[in-house]
Amino acid sequence: MVGKTGPTVGVLALQGGFREHEEALEDCGARCVRVREATDLAGLKGLVVPGGESTTISLLASRSGMIGPIQELIANGVAVYGSCAGMIMLADEVLDGRADRPSFGGIDMSVRRNAFGRQVDSFETDLEMSVLPGGEFPAIFIRAPWVERVGARVDVLAQVADGHAAGRIVAVRQGRLLATSFHPELTPDRRVHQYFMEIVKGDA
């Protein structure tokens, strides 16, 4: 799938909400490519790992031979953004993950899967994100993880302000890697994707 004429950004299209990410990225000027096998990674300036079910994404990525190539992509400094399950896949440590379901890693953090509860516990809240101009961001959480530990190189971008999860970390950045617990692709607000595109282009 080809969008506009900006940087080419891949969207991992094995499972989950990849179509919504494509639409958001194209609204921000990206040319989008659906990534389903390792050869699709060639020439990408950025990659998005969407939400979905992290163990399923891990299984399908393993079966399609993409765990190693995506880890290499990360090691080579390509910008990568993960939302919800994508955050889990970018974590160096998954606290309650299965040993036979590897992640891509890259961000020095510990993430707990489904920390906010089940599907029925989904919610929306406004978040302060200092890297985004224009005020609070309307964040949608669906069976979302949260971050329980970050390393010294990780910048915390957002935390829940109130409720039982007050203070929990839900957005982080380490170098050219970005991750959120929530789903910005499900809102018409494109600021998170625009911020990622600035990382892709080296402007942020």
Instruction: Give the residues across from 35 on adjacent strands.
Output: 12
Phi, psi of 119 (to 5 degrees): -55, -40
Catalytic (active site) residue 185: yes
Beta-strand pair 123-127/137-141: antiparallel
Beta-strand pair 46-49/79-83: parallel
Catalytic pick from 84, 93, 193, 198?
84
Catalytic pick from 20, 22, 26, 185?
185
At residue 65, the 3 state secondary structure works out as coil
Contact 90, 177 (CB under 8 A): yes
Catalytic (active site) residue 183: yes
Catalytic pick from 164, 183, 193, 198?
183
Nearest Cα to Cα of residue 90 among 10, 27, 18, 178: 178
Q: What six digits make up the tokens of 86?
A: 């994508």
The residues carrying an active-site annotation are: 84, 183, 185
